[in-house]
Amino acid sequence: MREARVFNYGHYAGKLIEIEQNQYQFVYDDQYNGPPVSLTMPVAKKEFSYSQFPPFFDGLLPEGMLLEALLKSAKIDRKDYFLQLITVGKDLVGSVTVEGSV
């Protein structure tokens, strides 16, 4: 099981958990009262489960030449979306950043 801390506008929002291959969960922190990380994940619901890498986080991953450069330089498996997200998580487009142990 791997976990990553998710921040929104610099405030800790919750954690993304890879329970096992193709089983993911995003859980808002009980103390978080900011805007939702994504409109598809309202804060009031608190927990979201996925049977594939969550679409919102997938949309934050690099594509094309940037993806190829990341995979080669960091020696990451093409299908390890969780590790890709952690690796680029501090330099994402938008208000969300992700921190985790590589």
Which of 31, 15, 13, 29 has the alpha carbon at shortest distance from 85?
15
Which residues, listed in sequence order, are joined to residue 6 by a DSSP beta bridge? 14, 98
Q: pTM of the entire structure?
A: 0.86
Distance CA 14, CA 58 (A): 17
pLDDT single digits (tens) 27-83: 999 999 999 999 999 999 999 999 999 999 999 888 888 877 777 778 888 888 898
Strands of 9-101, DSSP E = 11-20, 23-28, 47-50, 96-100
Question: Which residues make Cβ contacts (< 8 Å) with residue 96, sequence separation at least 6?
Answer: 6, 7, 8, 13, 37, 60
